[in-house]
Amino acid sequence: MRTIVFSSQNYDRDSFLGTACPAGIELHFQPARLSLDTAALADGHAVVCAFINDDLSAPVLERLAAGGTRLIALRSAGYNHVDLVAAKRLGLGVVRVPAYSPHAVAEHAVALILALNRRLHRAYNRTREGDFSLHGLTGFDLVGKTVGIVGTGQIGATFAKIMHGFGCQLLAYDPYPNPDVVALGARYLSLPELLAQSRIISLHCPLNEHSKHLINRDSLAHMQPGAMLINTGRGGLVDTPALIDALKEGQLGYLGLDVYEEEAQLFFEDRSDLPLQDDVLARLLTFPNVIITAHQAFLTHEALGAIAATTLHNIATWAAGAPQNQVEG
């Protein structure tokens, strides 16, 4: 079963080649991002293994199907970038990795909180330049602070456990309350109530038609002045220009992003020698109370190993006629 792995980085190659590969699967690694221009590279490959910023719109899926592809194996839990209606029409199977390491993403969210709160990014740059002053570096104790968790699936629940360990008061918003989160003492509220009562808000929900721009000008206005917002979910959960206005006005006191709505043409590549063409992202990077990482929350040895193992298992079970972790259109 010839499989082409698009958007593959060195760490993808290492994790896949370091995982026991079921018989019959032949892996080909392609660093290029999947798009209509690169879809021809998949000709003759029954399986296309794609990542979050690969283009899986209807025109791309049609080109893949014409070239012999029969399965889209996602290396992610999210599948909002796949045109599932087109995939079903073309007879393409779609499988995903529903869970890999919730600890990886949850711990990265906590790292952003700690770095923003204690201004670690500013302190690091100062001391490297010989400035050992402390002005502007005052943070706050996490113990006793109210943390709002939007989305309490596996990642959100893991994040809740960590913040409970810090002694935080937990609030949650999710259409399906998680008993494990309730057991930590969390109270489920409406989103406006959660935003109004939380000092820190962390997003851990999927991106769909209901959650797109969940955080917008109206919802930002519900937040406490100076609140902290963390997004390690999907970039489209927030209206980025609205974040800029909230930062300028001081309504938003801290912002930590590991995802960005327009990241597809930017993240996972070294663009340090090129001028940044995205004016919105460039403006965000000017704020001293903002930290942006390039979608690295998933990037741990454990998570990469789990992604590779589940992806290979998904391909093998699909080939055997007993597919698992299918995404239904």
| Residues classed as catalytic | 234, 263
The backbone torsions φ and ψ at residue 150, rounded to the nearest 5 degrees and listed phi first, read -100, 105
Rounded CA-CA distance 70/47 in Å is 6
Residue 49 CA to chain centroid, in angstroms?
Answer: 18
* Exposed / middle / buried, residue 61 (Cβ in 10 Å: 0-12, 13-18, 19+): buried
Which tokens is 134 given?
């402390």
Neighbours of 32 (CB within 10 A): 13
Cβ partners under 8 Å of residue 95, min gap 6: 71, 72, 73, 74, 314, 315, 318, 323, 324, 325, 326, 327
